[in-house]
């Protein structure tokens, strides 16, 4: 038996005993809460996702039945949370759906006092609290004591449905943003601020290290001061992921907004049929600030970054509809100039030119002040044969390379030359402009004039802010083209087999009283993608 006063436990859990729902018993100041509706369904879904990798899911249900003989697990949802622990750490809390508190205490040989018990499991001292339908399980020395006057904890209120649901509280988002910012400042102070390629983390701490550069994005989301919900549902045909945050997002309507259609053979396609809401602009600028690796710098310098952000905001705020397309390059075409976009502009051509010129000027001022290993300075000039402008950069200068036939050959295969040029071309007498690498293909991303002032995309009285799709089979085919250039001449390189043709993954973002993101990945597409990814693995020896 455990020689430890139960009075400590009683003080910590008295406020949550006999709760009607496990969510009402969340510890004060909780950060993350997770709910799984049914363990058997969760295990079956996980098994389907693990199977293409040749892995098996640990039999959690069977393990619990062996460890807790005689304890009946009910069909209520399972719960899990992370809450403030001692010395600033996070402490896990689980909610086991059972009415057999007596049998659970007996199975674990627990010290008990009424509805509270302490048990030692695999060397860990755990608290068990009977919540009338659930048993709360936590580390005995894990949770920090609540301050007097804290009152009851805010329950996790679900707005989205799914087999597994997660909510990050306001406190959780602020803690994440502050933690990433502190970690990023430490990286910069230690001279380790340059962002390398993403690699599979070896532990949670390394995962946070790789997330640290995205502190500005986390801070922007936390500033909304609303809980973030995520729900995952899996059936025989697809995995559905829904995210929602209770932030009112209203699109900017305009007579110049339009709908667009993508041509056949697109890798990905996205449409934003309205003007960009202010929150989207804030998120876009926060994302740009997270990517100083685009110029191979540890961070963007101040005050130059603020000047660039101001120019970006002016540019983005005057878009009235946007469509983006990534197409699969044809044989012999450059592999890295396959993006095309179009947008409607709120203003005349002169105002667009002035805004682009200001953005280009401020970008170059930022480059001059940054510790950039790739100082990609921009030049802007009018187009000769069309209305519009060309913004370009010299790749040899930008990458700091000496001119040589070998490097030129790589630039040719990637970019079609040693100057990377983006053309902004007026389509016709309208305020629609096409953005392309070099001479544009005007037939791409044409808008439907009949839909410019009617048939606005609305779903269940919520405006559709973004709608898009991704063909993973074509995306992997494109990546194989890039890999063939990168690995040319590499001894032992094994190219992967082409991925089987597969249905598209889809994305829809809706606004209104809250922001909702719905994405869908067909199971067949997932299985084909894993098979493709593993196709260059060497067979295991028997």
Task: Average the pLDDT over each of 9-18, 172-181, 185-194, 370-379 and give the range with the smallest value.
Answer: 9-18
What would the mean pLDDT of 14-28 be, rounded to a whole number? 66
Contact (CB, 8 A) for 464 and 509: yes
The model's pTM is 0.86
**CA 3 – CA 382 distance, rounded (Å):** 82
Nearest Cα to Cα of residue 347 among 249, 275, 260: 275
In this structure, are strands 419-426 and 432-437 parallel, antiparallel, or unpaired?
antiparallel
Token digits of residue 403: 């001119």
Q: Which residues, listed in sequence order, are joined to residue 249 by a DSSP beta bridge?
A: 512
Q: Residue 463: CB partners within 8 Å, gap ≥ 6?
A: 250, 251, 274, 456, 457, 510, 511, 512
Contact (CB, 8 A) for 445 and 342: yes
Q: Give the CA distances from residue 88 to residues 83, 91, 138, 143, in Å, rounded to whole numbers and listed in that order.
A: 10, 9, 16, 10
**CA 245 – CA 248 distance, rounded (Å):** 9
**CA 387 – CA 73 distance, rounded (Å):** 70
Token digits of residue 331: 């044989």
Q: How confident is the model at residue 180 (pLDDT cuts 50, 70, 90)?
A: very high
Task: Average the pLDDT over each of 114-123, 144-153, 396-405, 491-500 and give the range with the smallest value.
Answer: 144-153
Token digits of residue 356: 């682009």
Nearest Cα to Cα of residue 295 among 363, 368, 365, 372: 372
| Confidence (pLDDT) at 455 | 52
| Confidence (pLDDT) at 376 | 93
Token digits of residue 319: 């878009």
Q: How confident is the model at residue 432 (pLDDT cuts 50, 70, 90)?
A: confident
**CA 340 – CA 91 distance, rounded (Å):** 47
Contact (CB, 8 A) for 260 and 445: yes
What would the mean pLDDT of 59-75 be, rounded to a whole number? 84
Three-state SS string over 401-429 comes to: CCCCHHHHHHHHHHHCCCEEEEEEEECCC
Nearest Cα to Cα of residue 74 among 101, 102, 97: 97
**CA 321 – CA 512 distance, rounded (Å):** 18
Q: How confident is the model at residue 242 (pLDDT cuts 50, 70, 90)?
A: very high
**C-beta contacts of 150-154 below 8 A and 24+ residues apart:** 150/28, 150/29, 152/15, 152/24, 152/28, 153/16, 153/25, 153/26, 153/27, 153/28, 153/29, 153/30, 154/26, 154/30
Supply the mean pLDDT for the chain. Answer: 84
User: Per-residue pLDDT for 150 more than 50?
Assistant: no
User: Per-residue pLDDT for 239 more than 90?
Assistant: yes
What would the mean pLDDT of 175-188 be, rounded to a whole number? 92
Q: How confident is the model at residue 73 (pLDDT cuts 50, 70, 90)?
A: confident
How many of the other CB atoms lie within 10 Å of CB of 531? 14
Q: Find where tokens 């709910």 sit.
A: 35
| Confidence (pLDDT) at 449 | 52
Burial of 318 (0-12, 13-18, 19+ CB in 10 A): buried
Q: How confident is the model at residue 524 (pLDDT cuts 50, 70, 90)?
A: very high
- pLDDT digit string, tens, across residues 270-323: 988 888 999 999 999 999 999 998 888 999 999 999 999 999 999 999 998 888
Identify the residue with better confidence: 71 or 156: 71
**CA 537 – CA 440 distance, rounded (Å):** 40
User: Per-residue pLDDT for 165 more than 60?
Assistant: yes
Outline where 24-116 has alpha helix (H). 39-50, 60-67, 101-107
Residues of the chain above pLDDT 90, percent:
44
| Confidence (pLDDT) at 156 | 60
User: Per-residue pLDDT for 408 more than 60?
Assistant: yes
Query: For the chain, what is the radius of gyration of the CA atoms?
Result: 27
Q: How confident is the model at residue 144 (pLDDT cuts 50, 70, 90)?
A: low
- pLDDT digit string, tens, across residues 318-363: 998 888 989 899 888 999 999 999 888 999 999 999 999 999 999 9
Three-state SS string over 426-455 comes to: ECCCCCEEEEEECCCCCCCCCECHHHCCCC
Determine the length of the chain: 542
Q: Residue 449: CB partners within 8 Å, gap ≥ 6?
A: 258
Contact (CB, 8 A) for 371 and 293: no
Burial of 26 (0-12, 13-18, 19+ CB in 10 A): buried
| Confidence (pLDDT) at 141 | 79
Contact (CB, 8 A) for 87 and 98: no
User: Per-residue pLDDT for 81 more than 60?
Assistant: yes
Q: Which residues, listed in sequence order, are joined to residue 342 by a DSSP beta bridge?
A: 323, 434
Q: Find where tokens 């949670």 sit.
A: 204
Q: Give the CA distances from residue 508 to residues 281, 311, 462, 467, 515, in Å, rounded to whole numbers and listed in that order.
A: 18, 28, 11, 5, 11
Phi, psi of 312 (to 5 degrees): -60, -45
What would the mean pLDDT of 457-462 be, rounded to a whole number? 65
Contact (CB, 8 A) for 244 and 160: yes
């Amino acid at each position: 038996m455990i020689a430890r006063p139960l009075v400590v436990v009683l003080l910590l859990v008295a406020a949550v005993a006999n709760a009607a729902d496990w969510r009402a018993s969340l510890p004060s100041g909780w950060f993350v809460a997770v709910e799984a509706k049914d363990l058997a369904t969760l295990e079956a879904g996980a098994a389907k996702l693990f199977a293409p990798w040749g892995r098996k899911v640990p039999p959690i249900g069977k393990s619990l039945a062996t460890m807790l003989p005689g304890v009946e697990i009910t069909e209520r949802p399972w719960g899990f949370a992370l809450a403030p622990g001692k010395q600033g750490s996070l402490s896990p809390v689980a909610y086991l759906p059972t009415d057999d508190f007596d049998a659970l205490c007996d199975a674990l040989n627990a010290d008990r006092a009424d509805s509270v018990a302490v048990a030692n499991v695999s060397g860990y001292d755990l608290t068990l609290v009977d919540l009338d339908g659930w048993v709360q399980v936590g580390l005995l020395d894990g949770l920090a004591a609540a301050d007097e006057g804290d009152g009851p904890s805010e329950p996790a209120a679900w707005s989205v449905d799914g087999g597994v649901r997660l909510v990050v509280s306001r406190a959780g988002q602020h803690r994440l943003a502050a933690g990433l910012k502190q970690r990023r400042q430490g990286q910069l102070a230690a001279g380790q601020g340059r962002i390398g390629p993403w690699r599979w983390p070896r532990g949670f701490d390394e995962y946070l290290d790789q997330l640290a550069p995205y502190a500005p994005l986390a801070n922007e989301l936390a500033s909304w001061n609303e809980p973030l919900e995520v729900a995952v549902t899996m059936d025989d045909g697809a995995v559905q992921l829904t995210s929602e945050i209770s932030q009112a997002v209203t699109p900017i309507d305009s007579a110049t907004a339009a709908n667009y259609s993508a041509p056949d053979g697109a890798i990905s396609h996205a449409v934003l049929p309205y003007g960009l809401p202010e929150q989207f602009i804030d998120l876009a600028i926060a994302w740009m600030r997270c990517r100083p690796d685009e110029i191979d710098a540890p961070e963007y310098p101040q005050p130059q970054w603020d000047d660039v952000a101001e120019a970006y905001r002016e540019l983005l705020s005057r878009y009235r509809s946007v469509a983006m397309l990534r197409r699969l390059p044809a044989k012999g075409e450059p592999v890295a100039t396959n993006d095309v976009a179009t947008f409607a502009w709120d203003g005349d051509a002169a105002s667009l030119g002035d805004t682009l010129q200001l953005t280009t000027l401020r970008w170059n001022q930022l480059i001059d002040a940054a510790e950039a290993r790739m100082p990609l300075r921009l030049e802007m000039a009018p187009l000769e044969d069309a209305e519009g402008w060309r913004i370009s950069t010299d790749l040899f200068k930008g990458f700091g390379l000496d001119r040589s036939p070998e490097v030129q050959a790589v630039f040719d295969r990637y970019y079609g030359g040693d100057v990377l040029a983006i053309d902004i071309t007026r389509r016709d007498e309208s305020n629609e402009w096409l953005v392309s690498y070099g001479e544009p293909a005007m037939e791409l991303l044409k808008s439907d004039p009949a839909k410019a002032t009617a048939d606005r995309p609305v779903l269940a009285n919520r405006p559709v802010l973004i709608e898009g799709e991704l063909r993973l089979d074509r995306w992997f085919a494109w990546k194989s083209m890039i890999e063939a250039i990168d690995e040319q001449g590499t001894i032992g390189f094994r190219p992967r087999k082409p991925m089987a043709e597969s249905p598209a993954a889809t994305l829809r973002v809706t606004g209104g009283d809250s922001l909702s993101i719905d994405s869908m990945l067909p199971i067949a597409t997932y299985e084909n993608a894993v098979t493709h990814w593993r196709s260059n693995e060497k067979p295991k020896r028997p």
